[in-house]
Structure 1
Amino acid sequence: MITVIYVTFVFIILRFVVTVFNFVSDPKLRRVNKPYTDFVSILIPARNEEKNILNLLNSILNQDYQDYEVIILDDDSSDKTYGLCADFSSKHHSFRVIKGKELTGQWLGKNYACHQLAQQARGNFLLFLDADDQVYDGLINSAVHRMYFRNLALLSLFANQQMETFAEKVTVPLMHYILLNLLPLKLIYLVRNPMVAAASGQFMLFDAELYRQNQWHSLTKDKTVEDAEIMRQVKSAGFNSESLLANGMVSCRMYKSYSGAVNGFGKNALAAFNFNIFSFLIFLLLLIGGPMIVITTLNLNLITMMLGLILLPRVMISLLAGQNAVRNVLLHPIQMFNLLVIAFFAIQRYLTKTTTWKGRSV
């Protein structure tokens, strides 16, 4: 029992230190007023996105950067996605929509869609966005500045998350919580080791020349979590890359239902542990089981110390992510339970090879 408590506190303290580092270093994209005129290709893979796509397209149209083209690839949608995009494009000359080719070989859907989009792009920079994103003033100009300032081949941003339903509020915050609790984001740029990598496919900005030379989506054609794998590929090739928080300049509503969140997060959960189920279970045991064992001791001093080391990072991460800190603290136990639910389905579907996304096996 003493050993378990000791290991639990070491784990909690390490995560506390990582969170404090992230909070103090404040790894956000900074707004920059210096104007840039580089031509940016905004590339959007879309599969059955009729409920989201116009929100994104209108947000691009209404933001302040003007030197861009927008290409939407309809990835075999069965809804009105293509028609909506075609109608919008007919009214705005900087926008166009293309039909994606049929999947072939080892390609996964989104990876192949992004690869095709890159082949159509003419920009100095290639900006991949998810169809459920929305962008705001300052985003593209500030991101282009960052590319030049850091001499980056790739900049990825973790978007602010829109959450409206209770189901979203007890699942979606897990993304930022685990990310900022385990990885000092600044190290992605500072450390050359490709294992120190994280990225979000919701915003991936590439130097177009380097992308065309390396064809990073082609290199990761069969990877379920292609964003982090591309970041590792970029670093392995010796180029600079960086991941930051979006600082309110791009937002995303990832899921609108509990089942959608469980399925979506479950698709990626094991990838963070290189699909090693044992490592994933050890992580969950320390994250959730350890604190429960501490509580069973009924030692008020230990419990109080543990709660402080858990809840203070919860507040810091919420503030970094632009989320409601009080709500996340109150919902923390439910979010941890939902992490177990996500883990259960992730492991079950991985072992039975039944993981799907948007109607396709992955």
Structure 2
Amino acid sequence: MIIAIFITFIFIVLRFTVTLFNFISNPKLPHIKSPYRQLVSVLIPVRNEQDNILALLESIYDQDYTEYEVIILDDGSDDNTYNICEVFASKHHQFRVMKGKKLPHDWLGKNYACYQLAKEAKGDYFLFLDADEKVNDSLLNSAVHRMRLYNLGLLSLFTNQQMDTFGEKAVVPLMHYILLNLLPLRLVYLVKNSTVAAASGQFMLFDAAIYRKNEWHKQVKDRVVEDVEIMRIVKSSGYNGEALLANGMISCRMYKSYTEAVNGFSKNFLAGFNYSIITLLIYLVIIIGGPMIVMMTLNLQLIVFMIGLIILTRIMISLSASQNAWLNVLLHPLQMINLTIIAFMAIQKHLTKTTVWKGRQV
């Protein structure tokens, strides 16, 4: 019992320290207004996104950067996605839409779609976005400025999350919670070793010349969590990579219900632990079982100390991610239950090879 309590507090203090470092270092993309003139190819793979894609296209058209092209690749949609994109592109000359080729057996869908898009792009930078996002002013200027300032091969942003339903609020904040609780984000750039890597496929901005030379998506053609793997390969190839928080310049509504959120997170949750079920189970035992053991001691000082660190951690992460801090504190127990559900769903899908996303097995 004493050993379990000791391990629990060591882990809580370490996680608090990481969170404090992230909060103080403020790893956000700075807003830059100075205009740049480099051509940015905005590349958007879509599959059955008729409810989302128009809002993204309109937000790109309304933002303040002028030197861009937008290429949308329809990856076998069976809804009205292609027609919506085609109508929009016919009225806006910087936009065009294409249909993707048949998926080869040794590729995953999104990776192959991104590979095809890069082949069509003409820009100095390649920006890959997901269809369920919205961009705001300063995003492209700020991102291009960062690429040039730090000589980056890849800049990835963790977008601000839009959550409308209670189910989303009980699940989606787990993404920033795990990220900012376990990884000092500034180290992705500062530490050149490729093992220190983080990225989000929701915003991946590449130096186009480097991308054309290396064809990053081809190198990870069969990887479910291609974003983190690309960051690792970029760094191991000797290029600079950086991952930051979006600082309000791009937002995303990842899922629209509790069921969508749980299924979506379980798709790639195990990949964050390098597909090690043992490592994931140890993490769950410490992060959830540990505090329960501390509560069972009925030692008021230990309990107050533990709860205090957890509350401070949730507040700092929520403020960094522009989320409702007190709501996340209140929902913390429920979010930990959902974390457990997601983890066991991920294990079950991995063992039975039944992970499906957008109608395809992955």
What TM-score range do you get, normalising by the shorter chain?
over 0.9
Instruction: Show CA shifts across 1:260-290 (max 9, x none).
Output: 1111100111001100000000001100110
Counterpart residue number, 1:45: 45
Alpha-carbon offset, residue 237 of structure 1 = 0.1
Give runs of aligned pairs for residues 23-38 of structure 1, distance below 5 A: 23-38=23-38
Secondary structure of 2:97's aligned partner: strand
Counterpart residue number, 1:72: 72
Letter in 2 for 1:30: P
Counterpart residue number, 2:341: 341
Alpha-carbon offset, residue 7 of structure 1 = 0.2
Equivalent-residue separation in structure 2 for 1:270 and 1:197 (angstroms): 16
Counterpart residue number, 1:115: 115
Counterpart residue number, 2:102: 102
Letter in 1 for 2:200: S
Is 1:4 aligned to residue 27 of structure 2? no
Secondary structure of 1:104's aligned partner: coil
Secondary structure of 1:27's aligned partner: coil
Give runs of aligned pairs for residues 314-325 of structure 1, distance below 5 A: 314-325=314-325
Counterpart residue number, 1:236: 236
Q: Where in structure 1 are there 5+ consecutive unaligned residues?
A: none
Counterpart residue number, 1:219: 219
Give runs of aligned pairs for residues 136-285 of structure 1, distance below 5 A: 136-285=136-285
Equivalent-residue separation in structure 1 for 2:353 and 2:114 (angstroms): 24
Secondary structure of 1:163's aligned partner: coil
Equivalent-residue separation in structure 2 for 1:200 and 1:349 (angstroms): 22
Q: TM-score, normalised by structure 1?
A: 1.00
Q: Where in structure 2 are there 5+ consecutive unaligned residues?
A: none
Counterpart residue number, 2:91: 91
Alpha-carbon offset, residue 258 of structure 1 = 1.3
Equivalent-residue separation in structure 2 for 1:332 and 1:21 (angstroms): 21
Letter in 1 for 2:129: L
Equivalent-residue separation in structure 1 for 2:117 and 2:42 (angstroms): 9
Equivalent-residue separation in structure 2 for 1:269 and 1:90 (angstroms): 39
Counterpart residue number, 2:289: 289
Secondary structure of 1:127's aligned partner: strand
Alpha-carbon offset, residue 105 of structure 1 = 3.0
Instruction: Show CA shifts across 1:183-230 (max 9, x none).
Output: 000000000111100100000000000000000000000000000000
Equivalent-residue separation in structure 2 for 1:99 and 1:271 (angstroms): 30
Equivalent-residue separation in structure 2 for 1:51 and 1:32 (angstroms): 31
Secondary structure of 1:37's aligned partner: coil
**Runs of 4+ in structure 1 displaced over 6 angstroms?**
none
Secondary structure of 1:197's aligned partner: coil
Secondary structure of 1:93's aligned partner: coil
Equivalent-residue separation in structure 1 for 2:331 and 2:318 (angstroms): 12
Equivalent-residue separation in structure 1 for 2:110 and 2:73 (angstroms): 10
Q: TM-score, normalised by structure 2?
A: 1.00
Secondary structure of 1:328's aligned partner: helix
Secondary structure of 2:256's aligned partner: coil
Letter in 1 for 2:250: V
Letter in 1 for 2:152: L
Secondary structure of 2:65's aligned partner: coil
User: How many correspondences in the alignment?
Assistant: 362
Percent identity of the aligned residues? 67
